[in-house]
Amino acid sequence: MIASTLRSRSVSVGLRVLRDLGFVSRAANSSRRSNSLLILAYHGLSLRDEHKWAPDLYLHPDVFRSRLACLRSMNASVLSLEEALRRLATNSLPPRSVVITFDDGFYDFLHHGVPILAEFGYPATLYLTTHYCHYRLPIIDLALSFILWKCGRSDVELPEFGIHNPVSIVTYGERQAVMRSILEWADRQHLETIAKDDIARQLADKLNVDYEELLRLRMFQILSPEEVNRVASSGIDVQLHTHRHRTPRDRALFFREITDNRSQIREMTGKNPVHFCYPSGDYASEFFGWLAECGIQSATTCEIGLAEAGSEWMRLPRVLDVNHMNPVRFETIIAGFLV
């Protein structure tokens, strides 16, 4: 812990030195950066303390606001995905081009994301997964993992969910493993979405975590159809992320994920989505042709990098912003330096 803190401090000092020596502004004004596009990826903005549980997935809203302030102070050109891709294809990107994307479509995006983006007048794309739009329930795997963290215990024994010996839940990885065991147990019982939610409630009750509060705050819940409509009406571009947040290798199942997702988004927004983001960044080369057959024009991954004119449009890189990212590091990323 001490070693990693020292390491991150020395990285931040190093980045500051590079900035003070002018390397960052030279990179920001370079022709390489002018001809490339930075696509930022976000998931959630905390309604309570989610960023302490999963800092790679959730940002504190103030951190997100500070990122947009940084984009503004660096004169970044924040574009809609549509415009950015058109200009990338015609080599006419403005300086320091950036696209802001959010994955999944959590309620917190409407609560925090839309108003903060509006403060800065920045466009954004929301890659929406649609299955949970019809349930006012938290996404089960996130809820289970959060409850295991929130209870503050070092281990659990859950014979009612097939875990018969105490297992450690100290680290994020250990909690994810317990969450997966519980979900495998639920699948063996053939439980569907609503029955699975009962598991989260039972786990919260057993571990003394306030499940009602989690529901009341709408934590880990996907937007309702009416809320998606509101988000789209506010100018947010709603695009594809599969219906059930998965990318099956079976062609027919893969097509079904896209067509179900697309028809739902069309119904909620009145617009036809043609851009896609791979759930969990999971993709295979056979998907590229399948997506083109579905009329999809671009697909983003979780691979780190800047998109360039020569990039494959079905495999566009992004940069995931995380709560603990040093502000100087964020500046260097906007500059296209060290991406």
Q: Name the residue nearer to Zn ion (CB basis): 50 or 331.
A: 50
Residue from 279, 300, 321, 335 binding Zn ion (CB under 5 A): 279
**CB closer to Zn ion, 156 vs 258:** 258
Q: Which C-beta is closer to Zn ion: that of 44 or that of 61?
A: 44
Which residue stretch of 7-15, 50-58, 97-105, 299-307 sits at the interface with Zn ion (rule: CB under 5 A)? 97-105
The per-residue DSSP string of 272-292 comes to: ---EEE-GGG---THHHHHHH
The pair of three-digit structure tokens given for residue 20, joined into one six-digit string? 């003070």
DSSP state of 209: -
Return the range that interacts with Zn ion (CB under 5 A); candidates 4-12, 99-107, 230-238, 281-289: 99-107
Long-range contacts of 151-160 (CB under 8 A, 24+ apart): 151/207, 151/208, 151/209, 153/207, 156/207, 158/182, 158/203, 158/206, 160/202
The stretch near Zn ion (CB under 5 A) out of 161-169, 274-282, 290-298, 312-320 is: 274-282
Q: Which is nearer to Zn ion, 139 or 199 (CB)?
A: 139
Closest residue to Zn ion using C-beta atoms: 103
Q: How far is the CB of 4 from Zn ion (least distance, A)?
A: 27
User: What six digits make up the tokens of 163?
Assistant: 């875990």
Given a contact cutoff of 8 angstroms between Cβ atoms, the answer to whether 94 and 35 are in contact is no
By beta-carbon proximity to Zn ion, the closer residue of 44 and 279 is 279
> Could you tell me the CA-to-CA distances from 100 to 51, 126, 227 in Å, in that order?
19, 9, 20
Closer residue to Zn ion, CB minimum distance, 28 or 126: 126
Nearer to Zn ion, 103 or 227 (CB): 103
Total residues interacting with Zn ion, rule: CB under 5 A: 3
C-beta of 257: minimal distance to Zn ion in Å? 12
Among 104, 108, 197, 257, binds Zn ion (CB under 5 A): 104
Does 105 interact with Zn ion (rule: CB under 5 A)? no
Neighbours of 145 (CB within 10 A): 22
Name the packing angle between helices 225-233 and 251-269 (round to 10°). 70
Part of the chain binding Zn ion (CB under 5 A), chosen from 103-111, 151-159, 282-290, 329-337: 103-111
Q: Which of 89, 327, 326, 49 is nearest to 214 (CA)?
A: 49
Per CB under 5 A, the list member of 37, 58, 103, 211 interacting with Zn ion is: 103
Q: How far is the CB of 301 from Zn ion (least distance, A)?
A: 12
Give the nearer residue to Zn ion in terms of CB position, either 96 or 245: 245
The least CB distance from residue 104 to Zn ion, in Å, is: 4
Q: Considering only residues 114-173, where is the footprint of Zn ion by CB under 5 A?
A: none
Q: Which alpha helices (H) appear in the chain, and where do they start and end?
A: 2-20, 23-28, 31-34, 50-53, 61-73, 81-89, 107-108, 114-120, 140-150, 172-188, 193-206, 211-216, 225-233, 251-269, 286-293, 327-334
Q: Per CB under 5 A, does 237 bind Zn ion? A: no
- Contact segment (CB under 5 A) with Zn ion among 115-123, 196-204, 278-286, 291-299 equals 278-286
CA 65-129-49 angle, to 5 degrees, is: 40
**Residues 249, 52: Cα–Cα separation, whole Å:** 34
Q: Which residues bind Zn ion (CB under 5 A)?
A: 103-104, 279
